[in-house]
Amino acid sequence: MCLLLAACTGTPDPTATATSTASDGTPPGTAVVIPPPASASTPAPAAAPVPTVQERLELQLSIPWAAVFLPDGTAIISERETALLKAVRDGKATTLGKVPGVVPAGEGGLLGLALSPHFDADRYLYAYLTAQADNRVVRLTVENNTDGSLTLGQPQVVFSGIPKATTHNGGRIRFGPDGFLYVGTGDAQRREQPQDPNALGGKILRLSPDGSPAPGNPFGNAVYSLGHRNVQGLAWDESGRLWASEFGPDVDDELNLIAPGANYGWPQVTGAPHRAEFQDAKVVWPSTRDSSPSGLEIAGGIAYLGALRGERLWAVPLHGTEAGDPVAYFTGEYGRIRDVIRTPQGGLWLLSNNENPDFALVLRPFQ
């Protein structure tokens, strides 16, 4: 089953249509089911907790992109254009340091963050950044000082050569339950790359912590899955299945269930065209004005996606390998939402985007 949505949630409207682009560029014209707009009182699915804002942290951020939590509860946030890492303790942000080598332009800059699964021992923070000639993954140490402050070490490049452009840079990174680093890339406007298993653009990569291809990868290189346009979110469900959020072009934003070696169709197709050689998205938003999904987190069997253009939080119940009806929260209340991060207390943080200045919303822990 796949779901195709244009608004919040509700009863399907059989009169609505949308198209996916076929390999020859001809729209197939297949009707899809699109729920109509829901009222503010539209209830969530019975099993889903209702996200509730507990606090708004006025952190005076400038275009934050990602955040991670250290074991002591300190949040580290990346700022795309300033290349700064901000440390947040007790609701206040201070500058941890500036990451050298970042060349911000358009959608590129200092992007995703991932904490080493062995952080207590190695102190490594991984970052995805746009450099002069490419996108790359670096790692830096974050050390405790005797006065309780933190010191940022110099970056060490662990993987390079990912294509860059003013748009479609990907940038989300995350360690999986298997201990390997997963990296979402964009096609960087090179439409020949996503279908090439030997190219790095338009992929999800799977790396060892030192940056070498992880053992068991399907193509014998760093590539884990292909046919992506611009991967923006990575998260695992309770059964260890990997899900990813992805920008469509002007149609068909996606939530995908990722399988090793699978092909997700870009640029031949978008959405869920039901072609045997490609994987259908599990959720499709035919209109990007309703979503443009960025950060992704999964908690309690629910996938939470921050929406940029859609200016809302989407909650998608997951049922094994299928997805249920998405529900929208906070539509238009807090602007663009760039990232969704699980907190040590069991709730979520939402990072705003381009609100000048930007802030974090703290959601109550789920019961």
CB count in 10 Å sphere of residue 274: 12
Give the mean pLDDT of 333-353. 97
Tell me what the pLDDT averaged over the chain comes to.
89
**Residue type present at position 144:** N
Q: Please tell me the number of Cα atoms within 13 Å of 107 on its side-chain side.
A: 23
pLDDT at 8 over 70: no
Q: Please tell me the number of Cα atoms within 13 Å of 359 on its side-chain side.
A: 12
Query: Please, are residues 204 and 177 in contact by the beta-carbon 8 Å criterion?
Result: no
Structure confidence by residue, pLDDT tens digits, 198-220: 999 999 999 999 999 999 999 99
Place of tokens 């060349």: 103
Q: Which residues of 158-178 are buried (b: 16+ CB within 10 A; e: fewer)?
A: bbeebbbbeebbbbbbbbbee
pLDDT at 40 (0 to 100): 37
pLDDT at 81 over 90: yes
The percent of residues above 70 in pLDDT, for the chain, comes to 87
pLDDT at 13 (0 to 100): 32
Pick the range with the lowest mean pLDDT from 3-12, 83-92, 132-141, 182-191.
3-12
Fill in the DSSP letter of residue 27: -
pLDDT at 190 (0 to 100): 97
The percent of residues above 90 in pLDDT, for the chain, comes to 86
101: left (phi over 0), alpha (psi -120 to 50) or beta: left
CB count in 10 Å sphere of residue 341: 21
User: What is the rounded distance in angstroms from the CA atom of residue 239 to the CA atom of residue 261?
Assistant: 19
pLDDT at 1 over 90: no
pLDDT at 17 over 80: no
pLDDT at 49 (0 to 100): 84
Residue 342 in tokens: 């699980």
pLDDT at 114 over 60: yes
Structure confidence by residue, pLDDT tens digits, 24-79: 333 333 322 334 344 333 344 445 689 999 999 999 999 999 999 999 999 999 99
pLDDT at 47 (0 to 100): 55
- pLDDT tier, 326 (very low <50, low <70, confident <90, very high otherwise): very high
